[in-house]
Amino acid sequence: MAAIWSDQKKYQCWLEVEIAVDEAWSKLGHIPAADVAKIKKNAKFDVKRIQEIEAVTHHDVIAFTRCVSESLGSERKWVHYGLTSTDVVDTAYGYQLKQVNQILRQDLADFKQIVAKKAVQYKETVMMGRTHGVHAEPTTFGLKLARWYSEINRDIERFEHAAAGVEAGKISGAVGTYANIDPFVEQYVCQKLGIRSQEISSQVLPRDLHAEYLAVLALIATSLEKFATEIRGLQKSETREVEEHFAKGQKGSSAMPHKRNPIGSENICGLARVVRGHMLTAYEDVTLWHERDISHSSAERIILPDTTILIDYMLQRFGRILDTLTVFPENMKRNMGRTFGLIYSGRVLLKLIDKGMTREAAYDLIQPKTAESWDKQVQFRPLLERDPKISSLLSKADLDDAFDYHWHLRHVDDIFQRLGLA
């Protein structure tokens, strides 16, 4: 990924655009084929030489074209013919982003596969579902991961749409009117590079395309942050339902030898903040003066490489975290009992309604029992059994059924089938 954003690669993409432009002009009969052949054979650049020229010109594209021209003879006059700088820069950006997106697409597919594998592996691993951080009802660890799988699918759909937007070029001149160039040139170059031709542009591609792209990457980062935050929460000492792999020789604290911290997930959360910051910059870049200014350019030189490199890293890093995650099913099951059976209060409520009580009456009958169980730290079920009203309505079999966690999980297979997970 970093190589795609290197100066060497950037100028190579610029050169490919310039050569393709001359090929198009030749097909239109404007540039002799022999001159194009010489340009293709002899055109070269040197990054250090470009930097030397730019130190004088203070213009990177002029520095580039002059450097390339130094490697050519009389055919040099056709270099950059009919173009404005951004015809080259933006079209090359689209070409670079196409290559970047191929890597990110594979990263997303690999991560999705890991999530799917783990979801199926832990499909029936029962654990406590929590709302507001408080025990709610039983779920499974696999079902939690299946939600991640669904979210990644949405991330991929959004990514494909946004990627198509930025994999674009424009060769339409200084204000987008094709005043000094034939529209065929744009079509030819973009087709050769495997990117689309933007239907209308100013001197630059419209930056809402890039803002959308950065927003989608920020959503991917936020998904990873959400998943990582879940791991952090489940790795708390008082919970310890999962744990990041702790390598031999790894240290968790300079002061506390016992520490085994979820540093990988914490890293992901921190990097997600950086990516979202770059998204805001991309939004600021949308508004340019008239047909163009360069206020976006300096920002994009940071946010496009940095964001795509970060997403590449985050997907691979968190994929490894999840793939090597230690899961403690026995702790998950034990934690379910820490609230004395209160997690089955909803089932008891429905049982009483089924026996003829109104919802309000049943709720008001049960709630004091839940408070007593929690306040006194005693089991919930015996309190129900000792209540004359409840015991007259609910048999032992009724309560056995109400306090069976399997009831809550009976549709897990159906949910997995909806997602296409085995």
Joined together, the tokens standing for residue 389 give 């009203």
**Which parts of 73-202 are beta strand (E)?**
126-131, 134-140, 168-169, 196-197
Q: What's the pLDDT at 253? A: 78
Residue ranges covered by each domain of the chain: 2-81, 86-245+261-335, 342-402
As a whole number of angstroms, the distance between CA 2 and CA 172 comes to 30
Residue 250 pLDDT: 85
Query: What CATH class does 2-81 carry?
Result: mainly alpha
Q: SS3 of 196, please?
A: strand
Global pTM reads 0.95
The string of DSSP codes covering 51-88 is HHHHHHH--HHHHHHHHHHTT-SGGGGGTTTT--HHHH
Give, in degrees to the nearest 5, the angle at Cα 57 between 51 and 62: 80
Distance CA 200, CA 61 (A): 23
Asked whether the beta carbons of 419 and 149 are under 8 A apart, the reply is yes
Residue with tokens 């009580």: 357
Between β-strands 134-140 and 168-169, what pairing exists: parallel, antiparallel or unpaired? unpaired
Strands 134-140 and 126-131: antiparallel
Candidate CATH numbers 3.40.50.410, 3.40.50.620, 1.10.1740.10, 1.10.40.30; the one for domain 342-402 = 1.10.40.30
Helix (H) or strand (E) holding 243: strand 242-243
Q: Which residues are catalytic?
A: 132, 253
Q: What is the CATH number of domain 86-245+261-335?
A: 1.20.200.10
Q: What is the structure's pLDDT at 257?
A: 84
- Please list the rounded mean pLDDT of every run of 10 residues in the chain (422 residues): 97 99 98 98 98 98 98 98 98 99 99 99 98 98 99 99 99 98 98 98 98 99 98 97 89 84 96 98 98 96 98 99 98 97 98 97 98 98 97 97 98 98 88
In this predicted structure, what is the pLDDT of residue 251? 83
Give the Cα separation of 22 and 307 in Å (integer).
Answer: 33
- The DSSP result for 301-339, as a single string, is HHHHHHHHHHHHHHHHHHHHHHHT-EE-HHHHHHHHGGG
Phi-psi region of 80 (alpha: psi -120 to 50; beta: other; left: phi over 0): left
CB 61 within 8 A of CB 89: yes
